[in-house]
Amino acid sequence: MKFLLVFDFDYTIVDENSDTWIVKCAPDSKLPDEIRNSYQKGRWTEYMGRVFRYLGDNGIREEEMKRSMTKIPFTEGMKDLFDFISKHKGCFDCIIISDSNTIFIDWILRAANVCQVFDEVFTNPACFDDCGYLTVQNFHAHNCAKCPINLCKRKVLEEFLENHLKQRVKYSQILYIGDGANDLCPVMYLKKDDVVMPRHGYMLQKMIAQLSQDLVPVEASVVAWSSGSEIQTYLELLIKG
């Protein structure tokens, strides 16, 4: 019986938003107002498509983008946490569910030499087209009214667990580590034996606190964190039983 660790990426693994960080590559490190103001709620991936097209139109290509992305700082203590998880892979399966994209996450994890920590990464598919422009697509279609149209993290988690049940893999506990509003939907799916670990002071923790005030608490235990070392301390206690 293993533990399943589910990580968000932006403001969880890295201490930035990878999608907004890429704007550093734009002329004067900013976007024109017509692009900045074109975002529609729940349609972030479409918005990022316009950002990438603008970067491409301005001659920004793969190498420059990669150089910028691999400078993103990791959240304090995360690399040490990943070393710990690697040493105890017999205890943990580890996945990422993120609203970033495959290219950014792959670049960042490879540059930090931590790819081997993660069994699977679920995020929006991205690639460079024949003209050298970065393109991004929705991860999937879903019917969840609470989530952006491109990604319902709860659906991803449900399908992941169903597939593993077919292979007769059952987890003793799920630990969900995240920070943002789009992490609430999968968190509400967790059961009483599971643990949600919201980043201290970020939106997910505030939303969970509000639910508790509204007498609609999450079923899972709530353990807030500020650094990867706090998560590591919790995992150390967990595997000692």
| HSE-up of residue 79 (Cα within 13 Å, Cβ side) | 10
Which tens digit of pLDDT belongs to each residue from 142-175? 999 999 999 999 999 999 999 988 788 889 999 9
Asked if pLDDT for residue 98 goes beyond 80, the answer is: yes
Residue whose C-alpha is closest to residue 91's, from 175, 183, 199, 179: 175
Average pLDDT over residues 82-98: 97
Q: Does the annotation count 19 as an active-site position?
A: no
| HSE-up of residue 112 (Cα within 13 Å, Cβ side) | 26
How much of the chain, in percent, has pLDDT values that exceed 70?
A: 100
What is residue 211's predicted lDDT score, i.e. its pLDDT?
Answer: 92
Q: Where are the alpha helices (DSSP H) in 78-214?
A: 78-87, 102-111, 153-166, 184-187, 203-213
Phi, psi of 78 (to 5 degrees): -70, -40
Q: Would you say 181 and 211 are in contact if contact means Cβ atoms under 8 Å apart?
A: no
CA 100, CA 18: separation in Å to the nearest integer?
Answer: 7
Q: Which of 10, 93, 179, 194 is catalytic?
A: 10
Asked if pLDDT for residue 125 goes beyond 80, the answer is: yes
What is residue 215's predicted lDDT score, i.e. its pLDDT?
Answer: 82
- Residue 21, token pair as written in the block: 């960080």
Handedness of CA 174, 179, 184, 186 (dihedral sign): negative
- Rg of the Cα atoms in the chain: 18
Q: Which of 8, 93, 179, 194 is catalytic?
A: 8
Which tens digit of pLDDT belongs to each residue from 184-229? 999 999 999 999 999 999 999 999 999 988 888 899 999 999 999 9
C-alpha 9 chain-centroid distance: 3
Q: What is the dotted CATH code of the domain comprising 2-15+74-123+141-240? A: 3.40.50.1000
Residues listed for the chain: 241
For 75-84, 118-127, 136-145, 161-170, which range has the lowest pLDDT when averaged over its residues?
Answer: 161-170
Handedness of CA 107, 112, 115, 118 (dihedral sign): negative
Asked if pLDDT for residue 241 goes beyond 80, the answer is: no
Average pLDDT over residues 61-72: 97
Q: Does the annotation count 10 as an active-site position?
A: yes
